[in-house]
Chain A
Amino acid sequence: MSDIILETRGLTKHYGGVHALEGADFAIRKGEHVAIMGDNGAGKSTFVRQITAVEQRTRGDVIFDGKPVHFAGPIEAREAGIETVFQNLALADDLDVPSNMFLGREKVRFKLGPFSILDNKAMREATMGGLVKTGVKIPNILNPIRNMSGGQRQCVAIARTAAFHSKLTIMDEPTAALGVQETAQVEKIIRTLKEQGEPLILISHNMRQVFDLMDRIVVFRRGRICANLNVKDTDPQDVVAYITGAKTGAEFEDV
C-alpha cells in the first residue's frame, strides 16, 4: 500500500451541531487523478479544507505520504507538499507573474531577514520553466496579473503548484468561472500533470470534464462519501443518481 499518497480515515468535521463531514474514508494513489463530486453543501469543500488544514478537523486521521499528519495551517500543508488551487484565486493582482508564483517563498540572493535581496532573475527563469511545463500562454510575464484574463490568471495559479513539484495537487472548481477556451487551457494543464504522474484531487461539477480527465470519481452526499466509482465502469447518469441520492452505494470500498 506504499503507493498511496494520501489517505483519510473517519475524517469528521462538525460546525457546532452541523455535521458537515462524517467519517470520510478516502485514498488516492501516486499518479492518480480523482474527482470529488456532489451537490452544494455535500461536504466536498469541507473535506478539502480538513486535508489542507484551512480548518482543524473534529476527528479522524489524515495519512499523507505514509505518515499521520496534523498540519497547523495551510502553509504547513503546503510545505509538506500539498498544493491547493483555491476557488477564490489566491493571487495578488498588482504583482507580476514571477512574484505571484513565488509569493511567500521568494528566492533570495542575499539573506538579511525581511530585507533579504530578491533574486528576480532566478524567479523569472523558474517561472518560465513552470509555465512551459504546463503549456500556459502569457504574452508578458512581467505584467501585473490584473491585466490578464481569468484563464491566464487561473493558469498562473495552477502553474504555481506545478512549478514546486508538489506531492499532491488539489483544485477546487478551477474552471467554474472560466470561458470555453480558458477551460480548455486549464484542462490541458491537468492532462500535463497526469502525464507527469502528479496526483490530483479535482472538485468539479462538470461531468464531461470529470469523465474526460479523471481516473476515479468519489461522490459526496450529505457529508458522507456515498460512492467510489471507476470512471471506466460508470456513466454520467449513474453518477448523477448517486449525487442526487436516487441510488446509494455501499460504503467506501477500496477500488
Chain B
Amino acid sequence: MANSAHGIGGLVFDDKKKARAPEWNVFFALILIVVVFEVLGMILQGQSLLFDTDGRFDSIFNEQRVKIIILQVSIIGIIALGSTQVIILGGIDLSPGSIVGLTAMISMSFAQVAEVNGMVNPKLMFDGVADLPVIVPVLIGLVVGIAAGIVNGALIAYTKIPPFIATLGMMVAARGAAKWWSKGQPISFPTEGYATIGSGMMPVVIFFSLAVLFHLILKYTVYGKHTYAIGSNEQASRMSGIKVDRHKVLVYTIAASLAALAAIVLSSKNLTAQAGMGVMYELDAIAMTVIGGVSLSGGRGSIIGTVLGSLIFGVIISGFTFLRLDAYYQEMVKGVIIVGAVVLDQWRQQRAAARL
C-alpha cells in the first residue's frame, strides 16, 4: 500500500503532477519584491534594504529595519487573520477598522490610571474606574468584539443580506459608537500592565502566535474544514448537514474578536485611544489576504499565505520610505498590487482549468 496511499483503482499517482502549493507563489513574489527594492536601493540610495551592508549588526540582516517591517504590519496582520477566514468562507468583512476604533475606546476607558504625576488623571473616563487589573479591559474589549461579530454574523446568516452590506452597516455604526463613547475625546494614560501588551515587539509575538494558532485550527479542525466547505459550495455544505448559519456566525465572531485584539494591542502601543483609530485597516487587511493568495470567491487560501501577504505589504511600505519616495506613490502602488494579485489569481485559475 505504499504508493496507493494516493492512487486508487490501479491508477498510480504521479508525484510530479502534484500542483505546487499556491503559498510558494506568494513566497516567490515576496522574494521578487525584495530583490526589486534591493536593486533600486543600490541604484538610488547606494545601500541595501534588508541586509546589513555596513556591519552595524551581528547578523546578515539589517535587524532594525526587518523588525520595523514586521512590527508595522503586525497589528493589521492580526485583523487579516480574521479577514482570511471570512474570505475563505466566501464572505467579506468591512467592519474591522471601525471595531478597532470602538474597542480601543472602550478598553482604554477601563485601563486608565487613577493618578498622573501625582494629580488626578485628567482624562479619566469614569470616576472611580481606574487602576483595574489588566484582564478587565482586555476581557471587556473582547466582549465588544464578540458582540459586534455576533451582530455581523447573525445579520448575514439569518436575514440573508449580503455580507458587504451587513458589515458596511457595522463599519459605519461602530465608528459612530466610538465617537459617541467619549464625545470624540481621546482616552489616555493606561496602566502599566495594559501598556505592556503592545510594547516593544509584543505585537509581532501576538501576531505570529495567533497566526500559528489559526493555521492549526483551519487545517486540523472541523471548524476549518467547514469554513472551506461553505466557501467552496454553500448549498452542498447545507445539504451535507453542515450547520451553515451557525458556522457563519462563529466565523464573523472570530474575525471581529481578532479586530478587538488588534485594537487592544494598538491602543496599548500608542498609550492612547482615539475614535478615528483603525480607519481603512479593513482594506489593508483584505489587501494582505488577497496578496497572500486567498481567493475572493471563497474556498481557497491559507493563513500562511496571508502572513506572507502581510510581509509583502510591509516590504512595500518600508521600501518606499527607504527609497524616500512620496507616500502618495506608495498608496497608488498598493492599489495596483491589490488589483494585480487578484488578476494573477484568476489567470492562474484559468490556466489550471485549461490544463485539464
Contacts and interface: CB of A to CB of B under 8 A. Distances in A.
Interface stretch (B110-118, B135-143, B218-226, B324-332): B218-226
Interface string A148-175: 0100000000000000000000000000
Interface stretch (A62-70, A88-96, A222-230): A88-96
A138 B9 contact: yes
Given A103-B242, A106-B222, A138-B8, A95 B250 contact: no
B321 interface: no
A72 interface: no
Contact of A132 (B6, B8, B17): B8
A94 B239 contact: no
Interface in B279-305: 299-300
B340 to A, nearest CB: 23
B237 interface: yes
Contacts of B14: 139
A90 B10 contact: no
A86 B18 CA distance: 30
B119 interface: no
A118 interface: yes
Given A92-B236, A94-B228, A118-B221, A142 B299 contact: no
A61 B196 CA distance: 67
Contacts of A93: 232-233, 299
Contacts of B236: 89-92, 103
B239 A136 contact: no
A103 B223 contact: no
Residue from the set A112, A138, A139, A143 with the largest chain B CB neighbour count within 10 Å: A139
Contact of A90 (B5, B235, B250): B235
Nearest to A185: B9
Interface of A: 74-75, 78-79, 86, 88-95, 99, 103-106, 108, 112, 114-118, 120, 124, 128, 131-132, 135-143, 147, 149
Chain B interface size range: 35 or more
A99 B232 CA distance: 12
Interface in B227-241: 228-229, 231-233, 235-237, 239-241
B356 interface: yes
A92 B241 contact: no
Contact of A94 (B12, B13, B300): B300
B65 interface: no
A20 B129 CA distance: 68
A123 B18 CA distance: 21
B247 interface: yes
A32 to B, nearest CB: 25
A34 B204 CA distance: 63
Given A106-B222, A114-B221, A116-B222, A92 B8 contact: no
Nearest to B223: A114
Contacts, number: 112
Given A93-B299, A117-B221, A147-B356, A138 B232 contact: no
A141 B220 contact: no
Given A94-B232, A114-B247, A136-B8, A103 B237 contact: yes
B222 A138 contact: no
B234 to A, nearest CB: 9
A147 to B, nearest CB: 7
A141 B9 CA distance: 11
B167 to A, nearest CB: 21
A193 B19 CA distance: 34
Given A99-B225, A118-B220, A139 B13 contact: yes
A124 B7 CA distance: 12
B57 to A, nearest CB: 41
Contacts of B2: none
Interface in B312-356: 352, 356
A118 B216 CA distance: 11
B5 to A, nearest CB: 8
Contacts of A143: 18
Contacts of A90: 233, 235-236, 239-240
Given A137-B8, A140-B18, A92 B237 contact: yes
A95 to B, nearest CB: 6
Given A99-B229, A105-B240, A132-B8, 7 more contacts: A90-B233, A93-B233, A94-B299, A103-B242, A104-B240, A106-B225, A116-B222
Contacts of B8: 128, 131-132, 136-139, 141
Contact of A118 (B225, B231, B247, B352): B225
A117 to B, nearest CB: 6
* The 7 nearest A-B residue pairs measured at CB: A137-B9, A104-B240, A104-B241, A94-B299, A92-B232, A94-B232, A103-B240
